[in-house]
Copies of this chain bind each other. A is one copy, B any other.
Amino acid sequence: MSDDTDQILLEELKKNKVISESQYESISQRLDDEESNQQKAVHLSTNGGFKISTYDGSSSFEIKGRLLIDYAYYQEDQLNRLGSGTELRSARLGAEGILQTNWGYELELDFAGSSVEIKDAYIEYLGKLPMKFKIGYFKEPFSLEELTSRKYLTFMERALPNELALGNNIGIGFKTMGDSWTFNTGLFGDGFNDDADNEGDEGWGATGRFTFAPLKMDRRSAHLGIALSMRKPDDDNKIKFKNRPESHVTDIKYLHTGSIKSAEQIDRYGIEAAIVMHTLSLQSEYIQSKISRGSSQQTLDFDGWYIYGSWFLTGESRVYKAKKGRFSRINPTHQNGAWELALRHSQLNLNSHDITGGKAKHWTLGVNWYANPKLRFMLNYIMVDNDQFADADGDVIGNDDVNILQMRTQLDF
């Protein structure tokens, strides 16, 4: 019997004068005590994964994971071999939790390809104000698509200009937000494996991002964002930009600058816009990256952009989180799931002065079926237009206008 039902039985018994007022008081008091003890007890849930939390929220622990299984078929235009086939794109397990009320942590690991990649490993101070401090290995705040979890991306892979964005590094971060804006900033060293014997000091960088939602209604929202970043390479002063076509089964990176020497500083900026109107949405980003080099050499200037539209045939809307400045999970409204059509154009130009990393334009048609909120099937058809310099730093033949058909099965828990 729940405590509420117990209370009702007690009251009925008192009304019937079966128990006295003092008996009623004493037992009723015990019920109250039990209820307040339960506040300290734990709450459990599973929806394929597992979460435990205390009722007062002072402590929690959660296990999360995901599986992404891909197949890609490549139709090359030149005598290159991209290698059609299968891939386990992501196989993740992770833990996150809260302890002592104010402290959170996350540790998320990807084991795809039978190797380990740490995706997130940080400690967070939550506090009471709308501010958070983070220390550890996490994403630098740059680019809407980069910051949106792969689970919620509209296409199988992020667009070409993502190569110019920043990924995870070890650093400290500060975040604050209002109902319709967010501000994130951080100071970062390098990530892992960047510090071999005697090679000198790590690189470091500073990054900031501001987002604003001029429209923020139930199924209508608009997003604007701007991000800036400055980075100093490590003492080697060598950097590289390189990118697969928007497909990950292959290892061929057509766009490839090779090693850029004497790099002294990388300055990036990105602008972001997105709008959701019921079942329709548009999203676009532009990213520019400037590399300053030693005295006599010219500053390099790489840039890229993408724009895409999405349409939910089954009536759903893309879900924008104004307080986080990014998109989130789709919840199908029909029992048979949600269907989404999407079209994207993207460009990336890694040619600048003496560096000929290549230029590519992609058109992608995507169809997504969200069988339920945790499971989706994706089909992408990509038409690639590579220029003559898109030759994987000389490893393959340039000007390869590949067509790609790829599909994914995705489950998270």
Contact indicator A195/B83 (Cβ below 8 Å): yes
Q: A91 CA to B6 CA in the complex, in Å?
A: 47
Interface string of A147-185 (1 = CB under 8 A from B): 000000000000000000000011100000000000000
Q: Which of B18, B47, B170, B189 is in CB contact (< 8 Å) with A59?
A: B47
Hey, which chain B residues are within 8 Å of A61, CB to CB? 46, 48-50, 63, 413
Contact indicator B249/A195 (Cβ below 8 Å): yes
Interface set, chain A 26-69, CB cutoff 8 A to B: 26-27, 30-31, 34, 42, 44-50, 52-54, 59-61, 63, 65, 67, 69
Contact indicator B122/A49 (Cβ below 8 Å): no
Residue of B nearest to A27 (CB): B9
Interface residues on A, range: 35 or more
Hey, which chain B residues are within 8 Å of A30, CB to CB? 2, 4-5, 8
Contact indicator A8/B27 (Cβ below 8 Å): yes
A218 at the interface (CB under 8 A from B): no
A354 at the interface (CB under 8 A from B): no
Q: Which of B1, B83, B88, B198 is in CB contact (< 8 Å) with A80?
A: B198
**A contacts with B: majority SS:** mixed
Hey, which chain B residues are within 8 Å of A93, CB to CB? 95, 107, 109
With A103-B372, A116-B116 as known contacts, state yes or no: A189 contacts B111, CB within 8 Å: no
A375 at the interface (CB under 8 A from B): yes
Contact indicator B192/A88 (Cβ below 8 Å): yes
A296 at the interface (CB under 8 A from B): no
Instruction: Give residues in A with beta carbon < 8 Å to B.
Output: 1-6, 8-10, 12-13, 16, 18-20, 23, 26-27, 30-31, 34, 42, 44-50, 52-54, 59-61, 63, 65, 67, 69, 71, 80-88, 91, 93, 95, 97-100, 103, 105, 107, 109, 111-118, 121-123, 135-137, 169-171, 189-190, 192-202, 204, 234-235, 249-252, 371-372, 374-375, 395-396, 409, 411, 413
